[in-house]
């Protein structure tokens, strides 16, 4: 006579259901990063072809703002395609510009351009994660 444990049978689906929203959030985060790269490559490449670039060495802040704009456009296009509302789309795009608060440190020679760019990308990803977690109910469906 075989016996089964009711706790094992009943408990199995619960962890999978609990993990599903986090998997969806992670997938959404990865999708947004890929959309940002696509925007940066396509729009940045187009700007370069048109001669509308700003030299990183001379103007790291302006260079970053143009790059952030390219990434935000790519990300916004993807989010709207996925039918996200304007509020969460614009909030996520705003996260791209949070690192601009570091630009005065570059102007004051407290931070090098390369250190700024590294810190800006880390801060951008953290700001995006904060927005994602703040609006997690909208992103895990």
pLDDT in tens, 10-61: 555 556 566 677 888 899 999 999 999 999 999 999 999 999 999 999 999 9
Structure-derived torsion over alpha carbons of residues 117, 56, 73, 102, reported in degrees to the nearest 10: 40
In a domain, 4, yes or no: no
In a domain, 1, yes or no: no
In a domain, 35, yes or no: yes
CA 99 – CA 65 distance, rounded (Å): 9
Is residue 129 pLDDT above 60, yes or no?
A: yes
Beta-carbon contacts of residue 78 (< 8 Å; ≥ 6 apart): 31, 32, 35, 38
In a domain, 68, yes or no: yes
> If you compute the radius of gyration of the chain from its CA atoms, what whole number of angstroms results?
20
In a domain, 16, yes or no: no
Q: Which domain range does residue 74 map to? A: 23-139
In a domain, 10, yes or no: no
**Residue 135's pLDDT is what?**
83
Residue 12 to residues 3, 5, 7, 9, Cα–Cα distance (Å): 17, 11, 8, 6
In a domain, 97, yes or no: yes
In a domain, 12, yes or no: no
Domain tally, the chain: 1
List b or e across 70-81, with b for residues whose CB sees 16 or more CB atoms inside 10 angstroms.
bbbbbbbebbee
């Amino acid at each position: 006579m075989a016996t089964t444990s009711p706790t094992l049978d009943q408990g199995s689906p619960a962890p999978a259901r609990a993990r599903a929203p986090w998997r969806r959030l992670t997938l959404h985060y990865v999708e947004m990063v890929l959309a940002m790269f696509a925007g940066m490559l396509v729009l940045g490449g187009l700007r370069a072809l048109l001669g509308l670039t700003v030299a990183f060495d001379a103007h790291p802040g302006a260079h970053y703002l143009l790059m952030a704009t390219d990434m935000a456009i790519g990300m916004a296009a993807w989010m709207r395609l996925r039918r996200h509302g304007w509020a969460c789309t614009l909030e996520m795009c705003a996260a791209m510009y949070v690192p601009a608060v570091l630009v005065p440190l570059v102007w004051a020679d407290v931070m090098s351009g390369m250190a700024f760019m590294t810190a800006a990308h880390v801060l951008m990803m953290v700001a995006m994660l904060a927005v994602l977690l703040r609006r997690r109910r909208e992103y895990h469906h």
